[in-house]
Amino acid sequence: MKIMYLYCNDGQIVTGGQKYEDNLYRLMRDTPGLDVDRVWLHNITQGWKKYLAMFGNLSQASRLTGYDLVIFNSAQAVFFLPLIKQLRAKGVRTAVVHHHFLFHQVNGWRRKLYKFFETSFLREASEIIVPSPYIDDLTRKMYPGHSVRYWQIPFERPASAPAASPIPGNLLYIGTIEQRKGLIHLVNAMSLLKKNNVDCRLTVVGKSVDPSYRQMIDSAVTSAGLDVTFTGFVSDDELQRIISEADIFTFPSRLEGYGMVICESMTHGLPVICFDNSAMPYTVKDDVNGLLVADGDEKAMAEAIQRVVTDRPLRQRLSQGALDTVDTFMTPARFEQTVRHDTLSMGRAQD
């Protein structure tokens, strides 16, 4: 069975989604009976000219007819919609890895445009592959009767990590610094905590991708005199040390397809405080493994943090709840078994 992974981008593997798909590629590549290729077209340029790639990509159709399955990513729907339509017309089976609905992130005419390309692209696919419970739920509701493969991202407790020694009031955020991630809400919540004489400090792990948004956060931190450390990217060893000293994983994101960092923090027994939106309630169960607060409510977030910081038995109970939740996640072994079985089934479906 011949499989092609086809991307427009430049081959960098940085985000959690990219790492997930790289893992899929390597897993399939090492599976007997599968012959797997991967190609990055490097054809997304700056400005409006990048949209010409959708027409240039049609030239790939003839070479792809030799493959039994061509795999895309839904984030590149605008660049591959004509191609996936052509492949369907030629009888080539396709699969689309779908992490989240991008049109949920924008408004106005862009939302309508994104929704058209994204939903049309998924409708053309022979198979839709989803990695999270929230997106699995949404996709099955939007595409009833379509073949949807739920390949949940695997998580398990780390085999070796520094012993947890949480310092009360040590807050941790892991993720990019951009508007969607809502970090300003957490900073504002810390300002409220400071007024209530609650001792907290925040470590932010991740890169800034929106300079103006970062500047707004820096101004808020400075004006309120908050204790916030921005580390940028750190080594795995340093991250493990930071996590071992964290008290609470605070995640103020306004929209997530999964929120993998939530799951990763739970593998270390960190209780989670986050807004009740999008994917968050699929993993965070209020008063079980964390606390959910009304979406965008900074006062409620401050109150939730104060509860956990000042009530150590509550913190201990939520920590144990986080570890218990990890035991319900897809394990790496079951993930490998599921992917291999389903991929071979896709090939048999063609026969």
* Dihedral-angle region of residue 185 (phi above 0 means left; psi in -120 to 50 means alpha; beta otherwise): alpha
pTM above 0.85, yes or no: yes
Phi, psi of 140 (to 5 degrees): -65, -30
- pLDDT-derived band at 350 (thresholds 50, 70, 90) equals low
pLDDT value for 346: 85
**Residue 129: helix, strand or coil by DSSP?**
strand
Distance CA 318, CA 321 (A): 5
DSSP 256: -
**Residue 349 confidence class, pLDDT cut points 50, 70, 90:** low
**Cβ neighbours around 297 below 10 Å, total:** 15
Question: Per-residue pLDDT tens for 149-205?
Answer: 999 999 999 888 788 899 999 999 999 999 999 999 999 999 999 999 999 999 999
| Residue pLDDT, tens place only, 287-326 | 999 999 999 999 999 999 999 999 999 999 999 999 999 9
Query: What type of residue is 297?
Result: D
- Count of CA atoms in the C-beta half-sphere (13 A) of 143: 21
Q: Which CATH superfamily is domain 170-326 in?
A: Glycogen Phosphorylase B; (3.40.50.2000)
**Measured CA distances, 24 to 34, 68, 131, 332 (Å):** 12, 17, 11, 12
Q: Give the CA distances from residue 163 to residues 84, 160, 242, in Å, rounded to whole numbers and listed in that order.
A: 49, 9, 11
CB 329 within 8 A of CB 155: yes
Q: Which fold has domain 2-154+330-350?
A: Rossmann fold (3.40.50)
Q: Where in the chain is the domain with CATH 3.40.50.2000?
A: 2-154+330-350, 170-326
